[in-house]
Amino acid sequence: MKRYLKTITLTATLAVPFMLAAAADAGNHDLCHDHDKHHDHKKGVSNWLAGDFHQHTLYTDGSTTFDFVMGKSNEFGLDWWANSEHGGARNRDGEGVSWLDTTKYPVNPILGDFPEKGYMYRWQSLRDFAYPDIERNRDIYPDKKIASGVEWNVPGHEHCSSGIVSEDPGAISAWEYIFDKSDDDTSRDGEVTPYGVLAKENGKIYEWVDGSKIITSKSTEEQHEDAVAGCAWMQQQLDAGRIDSGWVVFAHIERNGAWSTGGYDINNFRDFNNAGPDVCFGFEGAPGHQANSDRGGFGGKAFGGTYGGTGYYTATLGGLWDALLGEGRHWYNFASSDYHSHHTVGGDDFYPGEYQKTWTKAVDENRDGDISLKEIADGLHSGNSFHVMGDLINALEFTARYNSKVVEMGGDLQLNKHHSAKDPLVLKIKFMSPETNNNGDTPTVDHIDLIAGQITGLFSPDSPDYTKATNESTQVIATFTSADWEVDEDGYNVITYPIKGLDKSMYFRLRGTNQPVNAPFETDEMGNPLADSLATAGLGLDGAEEAWADLWFYSNPIFVNVEK
């Protein structure tokens, strides 16, 4: 099969037009890839696994039972998922039964402050009830991996999908007790645990006066410091070997706007990542609640809502995410369902895995035929992930090769200053779409954008650039349609793209969609997604219809570092 390449030469500023020239594909080394399994002689056997960080049951503010949600996660093809719902206190168990219902609980099971009020703090339900439910469902679905998580109510900020991989729920119970801003229990203060002596660091001050608990809030800056301490705590537990792995992935990050109104600014993410680089490494750029009439539930109150189902920080070319990547910061993008209630019964949501998936490449390091939760978490931290809406694609490989060196998403390719200008950096994209998705449609990729930006290095917290949330060097350097890819013998669509004369460190990422460029109410003349509020009004579609009509995927980046 003859394959054609599009070749460009990058200048230092990325400001000049790119000249595209055809050339024969000589010396192109395909990775041996199968959608389900890829064999790497150095690392062992790896699988691409679909997952979901963020879902709710009757334990908190979900509308369906714990077992129902587990079943739906399995039904819609997820390989792993996390029971990750709000911290704080709730009055019912995973079946919706009140903790004070004596037919099920003859003795009040609630621990902590004021058990007679009927609200069990999440540190206890995580440990004593939800974790046994997780273990029971692991037996029901032995080929799936179910993690223990919590939707962290972050001091001074919006929510966050978090999880801890450990042999028992002690660590996540302790973490929620210490750092969740909605957990006002003080009964464990001073308790000695394997994770240290417990003391509240959740943005509040607690005092007892004449048997009453007096709660006051710390300053905004102090609340943020407690949130940073939460990231540092999880990192410390990992470094000490007290937990196997963990993640802190910030959720629906634009919903409350900027930090001043309870959301996030870029310096917050930099602080979190600095404090816990192995656990705080990303956000949900595409929020859940995709069947909401405002798609994502942001409305117009924060940055104009979502854009193609994706938040402003990710959807904006050269915006906040690109600013983080421009530091060479390994900060990754994910998606989840945030399932509470299905749209067919008046809710805002799709079931877990029904519409959004995060695909992650996890390596079976032990070659025992079983990829563990730790190995999945390691895959998330590696950045070798992509997220997708409506199964627009169900397989993606994105690699960069220079001679014999090959890296995948999340990887760093090092080029020395003497690398030959005649030998190009070769970017390769392999993807596949399923025959049908969960709406019964045949998803088709209209085009894929290759996005690039310069890497300047990490900013110091005392630098004025530490609060800068733009990367002006970011551009779409190429757009590929079906005319630019060929189908290989395994049915993958393949694009190979050499770049000559790279003399600056850069990152490269992908986004793809089923929408053509300049589609009314969906994309602009450059192919960028428009605000979903325009599509809802202009096309007259409800939330779920608009979501199925407008599909996107986003890859995580590859970093190419050129020695100076």
pLDDT digits (tens, 9 = 90+) for 141-168: 999 999 999 999 999 999 999 999 999 9
Give the start-to-end residue ranges of the domains of the chain. 55-248, 251-256+275-564
Q: Which has the closest alpha carbon to 380: 368, 363, 395, 365?
A: 363
- Helix, coil or strand: residue 301: coil
State the residue for tokens 């992509």.
Answer: 386
How confident is the model at residue 15, as a pLDDT?
36
408-435 per-position pLDDT tens digit: 999 999 998 777 667 899 999 999 999 9
Two tokens, residue 291: 């069947």
pLDDT tens-place string over residues 345-391:
999 999 999 999 999 999 998 888 899 999 999 999 999 999 999 99
Which of 478 and 7 is assigned the larger pLDDT? 478
Predicted confidence at residue 421, as pLDDT, reads: 66
Determine the pLDDT at residue 422. Answer: 73
CA–CA distance, 92 with 256 (Å, rounded to integer): 28
Whole-number mean pLDDT of the chain?
92
Residue 491: strand, helix, or coil: coil
Positive or negative: CA dihedral 247, 248, 249, 252 = positive
Backbone angles phi, psi at 74, to 5 degrees: -70, -45
Of the given ranges (6-20, 126-140, 383-397, 432-446), which has the lowest mean pLDDT? 6-20
For residue 299, the model assigns a pLDDT of: 77
Specify the pairing of strand 245-250 against strand 282-286: parallel
pLDDT of the residue at 56: 98
Quote the pLDDT of residue 66: 98
What's the angle, vertex CA 432, arms to CA 427 and CA 433, rounded to 5?
Answer: 140
| 536 — pLDDT class (breaks 50, 70, 90) | confident
Tokens of 90: 């709730």
Find the Cα–Cα–Cα–Cα dihedral 393, 394, 398, 403, rounded to 10°. -120
Q: Give the tokens for residue 316.
A: 């904006």
Alpha carbon distance 524, 513 (integer Å): 13
Please report, as a single letter, which amino acid is at residue 468.
K
Residue 267 burial (C-beta neighbours within 10 Å; 0-12, 13-18, 19+)? middle
Residue 564's CB: how many other CB atoms inside 10 A? 7
Q: Quote the CA–CA distance of 186 and 193 in Å, as a whole number.
A: 15
Residue 27 CB partners (closer than 8 Å, separation 6+): none
Task: Give the count of beta carbons closer than 10 Å to the beta carbon of residue 190.
Answer: 9
Burial class of residue 133 in the structure, from the number of CB atoms within 10 Å of its CB (0-12 exposed, 13-18 middle, 19+ buried): buried
| pLDDT above 70 (res 17) | no
- pTM, rounded to two decimals: 0.93
Residue 35 has pLDDT above 60, yes or no: no
pLDDT digits (tens, 9 = 90+) for 52-69: 999 999 999 999 999 999
Q: Which residues pair with 174 in a beta bridge?
A: none
| Among 385, 377, 374, residue whose Cα is nearest residue 558 | 385
464, pLDDT greater than 90: yes
| Pairing relationship of beta strands 44-52 and 80-86 according to DSSP bridges | parallel
